A = this chain, B = another copy of it.
């Protein structure tokens, strides 16, 4: 019987590490820097070193360790390989193979957004369910799809890349991905700022947003104050996101849709603006799909990574 596992979340500046019990309790949690120099050649050896030292420090028996789960910011295929990961300065890396060699433990690797979705399903906003769509609203829009407790990695590592669903023909400036009119351009923190600027320049109407630098947080604060212009921004955001989720639900038909990322700190009011349009556009059988806020914050990645090997 395996008693422990490691959950690792590799980010562009730091690597979050967790030692978990087989029940999913965090026994230890720490961070190491991500050394991206020299094409990130040190990243996996650094992680392996951190794990090996933790095993020594805690006097763990390797026989009792189920393995290491690891999430990275890039398209990871089902063999644990990534063709490239821009933020880590990586070209092709066989994450699972390299890490197994460095630690002598079984390793599973996945895309960080997909892995975070698995974490939220296991111990977060989607706990108790087996299938979910997770949307992470931050600087960009990340996504992860889980079906029957398994990540949908996709045949090109693009499973769950819902931030790049095309939603608006009228947008002619390119998204970071190169396309125009992606969900990310209207539903991320920067997308919400875009919508607010459009509303502000479309009229002379008074608004709390007329003064100072606009941010997604200020938009949601203004919504809570009853600011009519900010409410229009929230409605447009909700229409884009709710409608897109209704389309995506015709593919995977999840039990629950979980909304996370910095923007989700606005709380329940955010869900209220999404669920109305969702229900309007959803296929009848999916109209009652649950919505929930993510609860694990920045720890979703290490939870999901641990879950992959349990």
Query: Is A247 part of the contact surface with B, judged by Cβ < 8 Å?
Result: yes
Task: Provide the bound-state CA to CA distance between A244 and B153, in Å.
Answer: 20
Given contacts A147-B147, A154-B252, A252-B145, contact A177 B284 (CB under 8 A): yes
Contact A253 B159 (CB under 8 A): yes
Query: Is A212 part of the contact surface with B, judged by Cβ < 8 Å?
Result: no
Q: Mark A241-280, 1 if CB is under 8 A from B, else 0.
A: 0011011111111110000000000000000000000000
Determine the residue in chain B with the shortest Cβ distance to A175: B283
Determine the residue in chain B with the shortest Cβ distance to A156: B285
Chain B residues with CB under 8 Å of A244's CB are 247
Given contacts A147-B147, A254-B155, A255-B155, contact A283 B164 (CB under 8 A): yes
Query: Is A231 part of the contact surface with B, judged by Cβ < 8 Å?
Result: no
Q: Knowing that A157-B253, A177-B284 are A-B contacts, what are 5 other residue pairs whose CB atoms are under 8 Å apart, sorted by A's residue number?
A: A153-B253, A161-B253, A165-B246, A165-B247, A252-B252
Chain B residues with CB under 8 Å of A289's CB are 155-156
Query: Is A296 part of the contact surface with B, judged by Cβ < 8 Å?
Result: no
Chain B residues with CB under 8 Å of A288's CB are 156
Q: Mark A150-178, 1 if CB is under 8 A from B, else 0.
A: 00111111111111111100000000011
Q: How many copies does the complex hold?
A: 2
Contact A152 B161 (CB under 8 A): no
Chain B residues with CB under 8 Å of A254's CB are 154-155
Q: How large is the interface on A (under 10, 10 to 19, 20 to 34, 35 or more residues)?
A: 35 or more
* Chain A interface residues toward B at CB < 8 A: 75, 130-131, 133, 143, 145, 147, 152-167, 177-179, 243-244, 246-255, 281, 283-286, 288-289
Given contacts A156-B286, A177-B284, contact A143 B252 (CB under 8 A): no
Contact A160 B251 (CB under 8 A): yes
Task: Provide the bound-state CA to CA distance between A133 and B251, in Å.
Answer: 9
Q: Contact partner of A161 among B160, B166, B283, CB < 8 A? A: B283
Contact A179 B283 (CB under 8 A): yes
Chain B residues with CB under 8 Å of A154's CB are 131, 252-254, 285-286
Task: Provide the bound-state CA to CA distance between A160 and B243, in Å.
Answer: 17
Of the candidates A157, A161, A246, the one having the most CB atoms from chain B within 10 angstroms of its own CB is A161
A-B contact pairs, 17 of them (CB 8 A): A131-B154, A145-B251, A147-B147, A147-B152, A152-B251, A154-B254, A158-B253, A158-B285, A159-B251, A161-B285, A161-B286, A163-B250, A166-B247, A177-B283, A178-B284, A248-B250, A251-B251
Question: How distant is A154 from chain B, measured CB to nearest CB, in Å?
Answer: 3
Contact B247 A247 (CB under 8 A): yes
